[in-house]
Structure 1
């Protein structure tokens, strides 16, 4: 004879551990495959009239030793703050686009950026590395 106790059936709980593992793995995948840096390119005006209508863009090249930079082919020492202040005073609303040669250290670039800001430059931008 079979014994029928009529016990209520238990609901089996769904384990959330595998779901949490999958969500964590997806989170890691998207974090590691995403790129959060935003690069902006400076678009130089095509014509002279367009360049005069907007702020003038002056290219500044920091040379490989990090102690000299050039503007329009003329070289300046980074330590010469008077020449830098005169350069900025002549074009106070210009955009100074800094380009660096490949061997320039990050510290030399930061030093030049700091000197431009201390000398009164309103707009200073990094434009890239010269190859």
Structure 2
């Protein structure tokens, strides 16, 4: 007894030629664009100089400024005076002029004036971004 295998009509008419063409076109596209990218970096050009452009000299690190109940200031866990805090902020901005982040954490019992003072120090020092952290309340 012989067994006959019937092929479906869809499998017999499926043409892989357009799929292969698309794959080759994508391959050529990526090869050409990668070559242009390499050639662009190999061009012997002298880049212009900008006086306001400053490179980052170290990785951006966020500075945490804590304010306790008495209004004492702490920068990254170290007790500091307002003058020392301003110096810490200015050095941090000099190292990371665009991406310096300061996180201000104040005790709930502290008056708002020390927080505003630290925010003003951040503005005067040129800190690009600072945040005041809070704790999530019971109704949230």
Please report the TM-score for the alignment, with normalisation by the length of structure 1: 0.47
Instruction: Report which of the two has the higher share of helix.
Output: 2
